[in-house]
Structure 1
Amino acid sequence: MHDGDGDRGRVSITRTDSTIRVRDEIESATVDVVADRESSLVSATTALFPVPVDAAVRTTAKRLSIPQAYCTAAWDDRGEQVGGIHDESVSLPSGTYVLSLTGATMVYVRVEGTPVEYEYAFENERDRAATIEFPEPVSVVIGARSLHTRPEATVTIPDDAGALLDVLPYLASSIHECTSERTWPTIRGHPPELRVGEHLDVPFGLSKPETGVTISVPERFPDAYRIAPLSFYLGATVEAGDEAAIHLENGYTHPLGESGSELEASVADVLGRCFLLDTLVRTAGTVSHDPSAYGELAGELSFYPPNLYGESLSTQLVEYLEVSSEVVERHLPRWPLSAVVRPTSADAPLLPSILHRLGRVRVTDTPTSSTRDRPDAESVNGSGTRTGSPDRAIGNLDADPLVRAYSHGSDGPLLCPAAFENALSYAAPSPDAARLTFATDDPDRAAWFRDRFDRHERFRGPVSVLESPTVEEFERTLSEPAALFFCELPWSEGVLACADGSIDLRAVDGVDAGAIVLAGRDDALSEAARALVRAGALGVVGATDRSAAAVNSFASLLALSYPLVECARLSGLADRRSPRVIGHPLACPVSAGGSVKNYYRIDSVGLDEHEFRYVTSFPDDHRLGSVARTCDDRESSLSGIQQLLSDRVVLFGRTLRAPGTASTDELVDLLCPADPVLLNGRPLTIDRTVTAEDVRESARERLRHVSEPDTR
């Protein structure tokens, strides 16, 4: 733990009557621990807990109730896990225990020498509570750690690459513990905000981790950006040097690529292997679990991963860096984000948001490069596989990032700093409360919007349909809270037509919508979308298909808490290869709880032979390192698919492939209308029953396309 972590006031714990209030000062959120009696609070040492905590107090209680929280783990005095996330009730014999509870912040309860009864009552995501009870009043230690999903400080750098190198280690001050436990997202707090100003300014209280790892890199903005994800994850010291390399305190040196795409590929390789192997090592840690990759990968390693738990980072890295990429590549999770930035200080403010999601960073050659003319632009072959990209350096198709987004340009997903700032204050509504707004000049479409969404099976919130609205009606409604604002009014060059005039979307102010969809193509989409994001939106989607099926699928995925970019891609509403999502592509404007977000990918290798994959996605509240259970209880006549869908723990981002192939009829029997499905790269709209002819026609098209010679 970094020096001073407990001194920066991330968490405060106070008492009012019998309620112990845990306040996350970074998140401005509270968790109330309701005791059965009034008892004074006494400061306690944080060392009593097996995990990092920001503050701890001691009190006396016989019963504790924690609304809006659930138990993620329970440990005994040897650090062995004796309870887990899916336990609705746990009875523990007399002993010493620590219970971990997740709510608006992380809360930990420690007791000694007493039996423990734990119960979890769940009605819905908004109505849940955890209860801990003891046979008689006992001394209880309550600790807490901030969820730390937003910056706690602001670092300023001048327009100087050396200054950026100097502050990179401070961005890792948000990591609570520089061990393999940092693979858990709650251990990796949000890096400090980064601004460009006149002088270098690092706030008092931020400290550099001391991990014994140093990264040297040429003193240039492009190379500083490229190594930033690796330096952040490793908590490395960063120094200017002639060549990019990792230097360990034991004298071991690992060279990185020289520059450009070679350095990007090298960083992606090292970061990917360190992260994946850390998830195997952490199985010996505070939260015991058996990710699907463990049994598949551990046998191919020259070391036993749990034996490295507690070893120095240098010792671990020596082992990790000796593992070949070919061994790791089949098990690497899909990365959530690959960000393409300009080689200047202009994009430095985006860096903390990228690192918070452990995104990769690529750099264009010149400050004015667009996504169309970058020299390393990817191509797409006949099967839909992306080629020629450093993101594919590991060589694993399923490791392609969820989204490759740009800080500039006009023909791909775009990142806007304002969108990430908006997300910090956006309170995602549940599907029961989410407001949906639709604007159209077509009476038939207006009638369809009312009929479909007034009785939608996934939404229960208010629905507003603006039919040929006036300028005043449109602007007023746009400023009202809404999870989705879908607009298909005519527009051109950024100017939208209303019944009594026009609105320049580039000059709109006061937007209070999570997702905005603009239907139709317009060259000014990027400019208009950036303006809407600056005015308050999380993200803007450019819709190329506004069919009823695509709109319904998009809204359904939104209700299920899929990220915006996945809603656009899996619904068919936007281009599946490069969906136009501008702002925060991974934002989830609707909160449907913590269930795993997945879809099925089917690739035909014959007219009646199909490969089947289970793909997990990344809602923004389950960042890289989270785990999920594939609790799909449907029956399948195929043992491979049945095994794939059975109860198993997987990392978010993992793609699981069923052994062998499935026949067309077997797939039709398996799939449900509610399943998000990519069939040979094309989305099947939700709430549509898939027929055998659908599958065979798609297979014919794919096989015909693959067999055509490439004449480029």
Structure 2
Amino acid sequence: MDSGSHRSPVSFEQDGAIVRVGDDIERAELRIEIDGASGLEPALPDVFLFPVDEAVSVTVSQLRLEETFGQTLWDANGNQIGTIADGISDVPRGTYYASLTGAVKLHLRIEDATLWAEEHLDETGRSIVEMRFEEPTSVAIGARSLRSHPTATITVPDDPRALLDALPYLAASIKEHTCERSWPTIRQHPPALERGEQLEVPTELRAPETGIEIRIPPTYEHCYRVAPLAFYLGADVSAGESPALVLENGHVEPLKTRRADLAERVGDLLDRCLLLDSLVREAGYQPMGNAEYERLAPQLPFYPPNLYDLPPADQLLEYLEVPREVLDPFTPCWPKRAVLRPNPEDVAVLPSLLHELARIDVAHSPDAIPPTVPSDSTTGGGRDRGGEKRRSDALLTAHTFPAQVPGTCRLHPEAMERARTVERPTPDGASLTLATVDSARARSFRQFADQVRHETAVTVLEQPTAAALRDAVEADRTALYCENPTTEAGIHCADRTLPFDELGAVGSPVVWLADVAPGVTGEALVSAGAIAGILCDEPANQDAVFGALDQLCAGFSVADAVYTADVDRAVDVRFVGDASVTIVRRVSKTPTVVDVRSVDEDRYAFTIRSYPTDVVRQGTAVKPVSAEDVVGRVLEECNHDGYWLIGADAKQALPITTAEVASLVENDGFTVRLDGRLLTTADIGECPLQEVVQDGP
């Protein structure tokens, strides 16, 4: 049965004991295993606590779901009962609601039942949720597309005043303009922007009415800089002499002062709104027990739950009273800082950047683009090429200039568009091709292939011919890594140089050229179909390369994989296309780095940071989980603090031992860095991992 209407992106199909919930926009599917012979029947979408696109009902005694997260249960009045990860049992007969996030956002309405629910991890580390009922029970299943693609298009002429008028309509994709907007599933992809002769806004789009207005001079520079804040707040945008935030309660907040320019003020407001919204929402639909709440709330001039029902403008006025230094220790790292040009050519990239909640700046020259400085979890700073610590508030700097800027990503709108529709395999379905001209490196590549996690297929090409390398570039692989020297003339192979214009359609979403000469831009790869190109001035050490490839297959974005593996420690790295893309999908696991620092013999301090992905975006609250083993016991102690926002540094109070560090390395769910060096199972070799940990980097 297919119950999706012709306009709904969601569909339901039953195949025996399996119900497939499809999302046509995302080209994704979530499977529910049921018992009993009951068929699917249409259900009303308005019977749920949260909005859904489509719904069906079925009578079952048991449900089983794989690879979901954020599983929460509410009673009939919308009061939270608990999270399924903590186990649900002994609840009285009644009507309950459940919410789970997987490849599709799922909501359940369980009618007049006594139920048990639990989550466990299978032998591969996947999350399994099982729900059982005392007797056959009617369950309404509602689903909502995650909508990481635009579903409407706004046409704007090459006039900054027209863009200013269009900005409020981009926030029409946010389902609720309260503090709940901090949940990423509430913030769906904004409408696309295309250039045309006149302003045309689809009739189905409605600009929000939040009582918040942003006034700016009508220039592209000002429009781009305030766009993320206007989107998040659902603010009206109008022309004014100087940048200001105007609230319906009469308050006017300057957005440019002697102490802070417009970009800094917008960044500060985004920081505080997302963070404080995540505390106020504890009084809302899905209280998670945020770790930040317990530490930050006592320092605030207000009691966060009291703000939940206030109008957005009044909430914001309270937020403005909090000193910045109080918020700084808890502010998450942003996924991207994008530097745009002050002209209409960059209009097209704006919606995708807003969907990520990227920070946006504007420059008149590529000389003003700051390089990415990867954040160091233990100090809050970053490391430059000389080892000096510097602070960074974004995981990646990207730009739209036709220039080669080390440590940044040159954005391409077509690559960003392809990133939305890329087929993402699971780790055991991923495939890598590694090419080199060096025999010793080829041997180490084959050793890596033997030790790689999961069932990832690795092909090694030693001194490939031009024909062999062309076939590898065009093959349908997850990523291609190539150490062959590359110049503007092409890639040098065993028999001849392979010019870029001889390449057909690039089959790998990620192509890593590890030995490029100045002048090689990677533009040809993106034009031929690649989503992200990684360009290095020389091959990095093999441990960093293997670490980055391992990270890619663990679900990290391209840039995060490179930077967490410290590839840039000794070589220049730049990206082209969309380096924020995730090419391996791990729905129920968030890419997580455990930064470990030795403090004494057999004692290590550690910090945990979870990284955003295409599924788990800014505003998500997570806590790491594992099976009942050494790692599980370590994480149970960590989780006493509660959930942490994606991108925040969760410093742990209690140290861990050498054996516990070794167990974290062997666990598939985590990346471990010891004193700044990435550790992998490849470090084991013939030596016990505990000895590797004790010896240090």
TM over 0.5: yes
CA shift, 1:325, in A, is 0.9
- Are 2:435 and 2:463, in contact at CA under 8 Å, matched by a contact in 1? yes
- Are 2:373 and 2:392, in contact at CA under 8 Å, matched by a contact in 1? no
Alignment CA distance shift 1:474-1:399 (3 Å) = closer
- Are 2:168 and 2:231, in contact at CA under 8 Å, matched by a contact in 1? yes
**Aligned pairs for 1:242-253 within 5 A:** 242-253=241-252
Alignment CA distance shift 1:580-1:322 (3 Å) = same
Q: Distance in 2 between matches of 1:452 and 1:350?
A: 38
CA shift, 1:281, in A, is 0.6
Alignment CA distance shift 1:224-1:667 (3 Å) = farther
CA shift, 1:582, in A, is 2.4
CA shift, 1:108, in A, is 1.4
CA shift, 1:475, in A, is 1.8
Residue 552 of structure 1 aligns with which residue?
546
For structure 1, which segment, 200-209 or 335-344, has the greater mean C-alpha deviation from structure 2 after superposition? 200-209
Are 1:429 and 2:429 counterparts? no
**Aligned pairs for 1:191-206 within 5 A:** 191-206=190-205
Q: Distance in 2 between matches of 1:578 and 1:615?
A: 25
Residue 490 of structure 2 aligns with which residue?
495
Q: Deviations over 1:604-637 (max 9, x none)?
A: 999999975333322332111112214479989x
Q: Deviations over 1:95-146 (max 9, x none)?
A: 1211113333112121333323445575367987655454445554332221
Residue 232 of structure 1 aligns with which residue?
231
Partner SS for 2:433: strand
CA shift, 1:214, in A, is 1.2
Partner SS for 2:568: coil
Gaps of 5+ in 1: 1-5, 389-395, 696-712
Are 1:209 and 2:202 counterparts? no
Residue 44 of structure 1 aligns with which residue?
44
Residue 83 of structure 2 aligns with which residue?
84
Alignment CA distance shift 1:693-1:68 (3 Å) = closer
Q: Distance in 2 between matches of 1:115 and 1:587?
A: 43
CA shift, 1:342, in A, is 0.8
Residue 62 of structure 1 aligns with which residue?
60
Residue 282 of structure 2 aligns with which residue?
283
Residue 144 of structure 2 aligns with which residue?
145
Partner SS for 1:108: strand
Q: Deviations over 1:165-215 (max 9, x none)?
A: 111112111111111111111111111222223332222312212222111
Alignment CA distance shift 1:21-1:594 (3 Å) = closer
Residue 467 of structure 1 aligns with which residue?
462
Partner SS for 2:428: coil
For structure 1, which segment, 63-72 or 606-615, has the greater mean C-alpha deviation from structure 2 after superposition? 606-615
Residue 262 of structure 1 aligns with which residue?
261
- Are 2:539 and 2:571, in contact at CA under 8 Å, matched by a contact in 1? no
CA shift, 1:694, in A, is 4.6
For residue 480 of structure 1, the aligned residue among 475, 483, 487 is 475
Partner SS for 1:223: helix
Residue 575 of structure 2 aligns with which residue?
581
Q: Distance in 2 between matches of 1:279 and 1:532?
A: 40
Q: Distance in 2 between matches of 1:518 and 1:198?
A: 41
- Are 2:374 and 2:392, in contact at CA under 8 Å, matched by a contact in 1? no
CA shift, 1:231, in A, is 0.5
Partner SS for 1:432: helix
Alignment RMSD: 3.8
Q: Deviations over 1:138-171 (max 9, x none)?
A: 5543322211111112222121111111111121
- Are 1:49 and 1:98, in contact at CA under 8 Å, matched by a contact in 2? yes
Q: Distance in 1 between matches of 2:121 and 2:393?
A: 36
Alignment CA distance shift 1:65-1:469 (3 Å) = same
Partner SS for 1:303: coil
Residue 350 of structure 1 aligns with which residue?
349
CA shift, 1:579, in A, is 3.9
Are 1:452 and 2:448 counterparts? yes
Alignment CA distance shift 1:348-1:303 (3 Å) = same
Residue 623 of structure 2 aligns with which residue?
629
**Aligned pairs for 1:287-436 within 5 A:** 287-364=286-363, 366=364, 369-370=365-366, 373-374=367-368, 385=381, 400-408=393-401, 409-411=403-405, 412-414=407-409, 415-436=411-432
CA shift, 1:79, in A, is 1.6
Q: Deviations over 1:436-491 (max 9, x none)?
A: 111222333333322330x1240423322223323222222212121221101122
For structure 1, which segment, 138-147 or 554-563, has the greater mean C-alpha deviation from structure 2 after superposition? 138-147
Aligned residue identity for 2:349: L
- Are 2:84 and 2:119, in contact at CA under 8 Å, matched by a contact in 1? no
Partner SS for 1:447: helix
- Are 2:188 and 2:355, in contact at CA under 8 Å, matched by a contact in 1? yes
Aligned residue pairs, count: 667
CA shift, 1:693, in A, is 6.4
Q: Distance in 2 between matches of 1:457 and 1:387?
A: 28
Q: Deviations over 1:506-557 (max 9, x none)?
A: 66331121322111242233x22x3212322231222344332222212222
For residue 541 of structure 1, the aligned residue among 531, 534, 545 is 534
Residue 704 of structure 1 aligns with which residue?
none
- Are 2:115 and 2:133, in contact at CA under 8 Å, matched by a contact in 1? yes
Residue 709 of structure 1 aligns with which residue?
none
Q: Distance in 1 between matches of 2:136 and 2:454?
A: 45
- Are 2:374 and 2:563, in contact at CA under 8 Å, matched by a contact in 1? no
- Are 1:435 and 1:482, in contact at CA under 8 Å, matched by a contact in 2? yes
Compute the TM-score of the two structures, normalised by the length of structure 1: 0.83
Are 1:123 and 2:122 counterparts? yes
Residue 92 of structure 2 aligns with which residue?
93
Alignment CA distance shift 1:684-1:514 (3 Å) = same
- Are 2:84 and 2:118, in contact at CA under 8 Å, matched by a contact in 1? no
Residue 178 of structure 2 aligns with which residue?
179
Question: Identity of counterpart residues, as a percentage?
Answer: 34
Residue 517 of structure 1 aligns with which residue?
512
Residue 648 of structure 2 aligns with which residue?
654
- Are 1:513 and 1:537, in contact at CA under 8 Å, matched by a contact in 2? yes
For residue 620 of structure 1, the aligned residue among 614, 622, 625 is 614
Residue 708 of structure 1 aligns with which residue?
none
CA shift, 1:25, in A, is 3.9
Q: Distance in 1 between matches of 2:113 and 2:372?
A: 61
- Are 1:81 and 1:288, in contact at CA under 8 Å, matched by a contact in 2? yes
CA shift, 1:563, in A, is 1.9
Partner SS for 1:482: coil
For residue 438 of structure 1, the aligned residue among 434, 437, 457 is 434
Residue 565 of structure 2 aligns with which residue?
571
Partner SS for 1:201: coil
Q: Deviations over 1:252-296 (max 9, x none)?
A: 222211699700000001111011000001111111211111111
Aligned residue identity for 1:517: W
Gaps of 5+ in 2: 684-688
Residue 113 of structure 2 aligns with which residue?
114
Aligned residue identity for 2:577: G
Partner SS for 1:330: helix
- Are 1:333 and 1:399, in contact at CA under 8 Å, matched by a contact in 2? no
Aligned residue identity for 2:175: H
Q: Distance in 2 between matches of 1:202 and 1:7?
A: 25
Q: Distance in 1 between matches of 2:151 and 2:456?
A: 34
